[in-house]
Structure 1
Amino acid sequence: MKYIKPANMFREMDMIKQADIVLFPETWQVPALVYGLKKTIFPSVETLQIGYSKVETTRALWAIAPQVVPYTEILASTPGNRAKVLESFPISFVAKENRNSMGRGVFLIRNEEEFYQYAQNNEVLYIQEYLPNDGKDLRICVVGDRIFTAYWRVGTDGEFLHNVACGGQLCYDFIPQDACELVLQLAKQLNINHAGFDVMISNGRIYILEINVLFGNQGILARGLSLEEEIYQYLIRTYLSPYPTAPNSVNKIIS
């Protein structure tokens, strides 16, 4: 296995051309690797493109399963669109930054002043209805072609965000099977093979809030699982020759 800094990509073309698989390329590298060099990459092209931003994720889900997306408006941050949001969404509603993670850039808007502050700092308005919930959401992790693990993220009393990075607690009990089945179905349909799906159950319905390509590992480590081993086994059985020759013939690059 060889690690190449993304900045050195074009200095290491010979090594990249010899690679069987390129692991975790940055988004800007994908066109050169896939369309230019015809390389196999992991995660898949679809995973990287759909998970690149909340806007891309939402539009992909709108196309195949609009019923799992909370009511959402994606608009340019113009005066007219700001007025439209305030006319369309009752206070309180959710506003998100297009690209962010670990709960950063997600806001519960409780008044017009909070909304205008958000709108001034974002060129794209990503606005969603607020979903009533019981203070928790699900993180369902897909690796390869299966659910790797799933757990609840339980927020502290009165907190809007449930992310572990924001103080949420982990719970592995009573994971709803129908939510896992839905996530796996969507992942297969979209060819997503490495992502953490954030799922909310509200009024008996399942909603997909976000799809994160690079998801936190706290919930994985707490269960004593190895994400690296799961990825390795998936790559071996999916892209490379069967045992026993495959482990000795792999030229992998993390880029």
Structure 2
Amino acid sequence: MELVSLDPFRALELPGVRWVKPEAVLRDPACLDGADWVLFPPGWMVDLLVHALGARVFPAPAAYRLGASKVVQTRALQLVAPAHVPRTLIRPAGPEAVEEALEVLGLPLVVKRPRSARGEGVRVVARRAELLAWAQGEETLYAQEYLPIDRDLRVVWVGDRVLAAYWRVGERGQPTNVARGAAVDGTGVPEEALALVARVAGALGVDHAGFDVAWVDGHPFLLEFNVLFGNEGLRRLGVRAGPAVLDWLRRQGGAGGAPGPGLPRAA
């Protein structure tokens, strides 16, 4: 199975992977000749690889497309698992949207920037003036109900199964994000949360993502998922993603399976 990665770091655990710079593909698409899979492309290249070159891409294009914006992602989650999404208001930012958010969600509430990761662009808002100030600097007001939690679950999904799951525990009100100092606890993970992630990932066609789940009074809420998630939590638990990725790719076609489709191009 011939694997080409456009990200040198995320494919370190995969044996025999050839690394190609994304810019090199634009200069000479022949550098991908023979590739059964193109791994971890930047988001802007996914449609080019799939539709112009006929490449098979991992993670799946659906994961990239749904994961690129919290607005699109939240609406997708609402469609497939409405009972497991916190109450969310998405409106063009402005005074009217602020008043609607206050009426529907109350205070405190959580605001998020549609394109952000690693816990950045997220804030708990406790005052109307603070919400107005936030909205003035945004095109879209993404507001969500505040959930009273001091931890959340990260469920790592690779292929068609849960690779690992652990609590991310914030300290004294700090973000529950490992990259920003949260602790990792792999004990007592509710099976209901894992089953929810499996159902949603399957419904959306997502094959590589870190799902963030809040657990409130015995009920799981999907907060978001990140396609290119951080690996620090896995490292602390001693879990390697590489073997699971390789197993999934082989089961989809490659070494020991059907050959890749190649990269057809017009002469």
Is the TM-score greater than 0.5? yes
Aligned length in residues:
247
1:143 aligned partner: 158
Unpaired runs of at least 5, structure 2: 1-16, 263-267
Establish whether residue 22 from structure 1 lines up as the match of residue 38 from structure 2. yes
1:218 aligned partner: 232
Contact map agreement 1:108 1:160 (CA 8 A) in 2: no
Q: Of 61, 66, 74, which residue of structure 2 is paired with 1:50?
A: 66
1:181 aligned partner: 195
Establish whether residue 11 from structure 1 lines up as the match of residue 27 from structure 2. yes
If the length of structure 2 is used for normalisation, what is the TM-score? 0.86
Contact map agreement 1:50 1:60 (CA 8 A) in 2: yes
Q: Find the aligned partners of 1:185 and 1:88 in 2 and give their Cα distance.
A: 29
2:125 aligned partner: 109
Give 1:169 deviation, angstroms.
0.7
Q: Find the aligned partners of 1:228 and 1:116 in 2 and give their Cα distance.
A: 45
Q: Find the aligned partners of 1:90 and 1:103 in 2 and give their Cα distance.
A: 22
Give 1:22 deviation, angstroms.
0.7
Structure number with the bigger relative contact order (C-alpha 8 A, sep ≥ 6) is 1
If the length of structure 1 is used for normalisation, what is the TM-score? 0.90
Contact map agreement 1:93 1:110 (CA 8 A) in 2: yes
Q: CA RMSD in A?
A: 2.1
Q: Deviations for 1:59-105, whole angstroms, at most 9, x for unmatched residues?
A: 11111111111000111112322232233221100000111111111
Contact map agreement 2:84 2:221 (CA 8 A) in 1: yes
2:141 aligned partner: 125
SS at match of 1:231: helix
Contact map agreement 1:71 1:129 (CA 8 A) in 2: yes
Q: Of 171, 186, 198, which residue of structure 2 is paired with 1:156?
A: 171
Q: Find the aligned partners of 1:70 and 1:41 in 2 and give their Cα distance.
A: 31
SS at match of 1:62: helix
2:221 aligned partner: 207
Give 1:116 deviation, angstroms.
2.1
Q: Deviations for 1:170-197, whole angstroms, at most 9, x for unmatched residues?
A: 1011111111011011111111000000
SS at match of 1:70: coil
SS at match of 2:201: helix
Q: Find the aligned partners of 1:49 and 1:16 in 2 and give their Cα distance.
A: 22
2:105 aligned partner: 89
Unpaired runs of at least 5, structure 1: none
Counting aligned pairs with the same residue, the percent is 38
Contact map agreement 1:201 1:207 (CA 8 A) in 2: yes
Q: Which runs of 4+ in 1 moved over 6 A?
A: none
Q: Find the aligned partners of 1:195 and 1:82 in 2 and give their Cα distance.
A: 32
1:40 aligned partner: 56
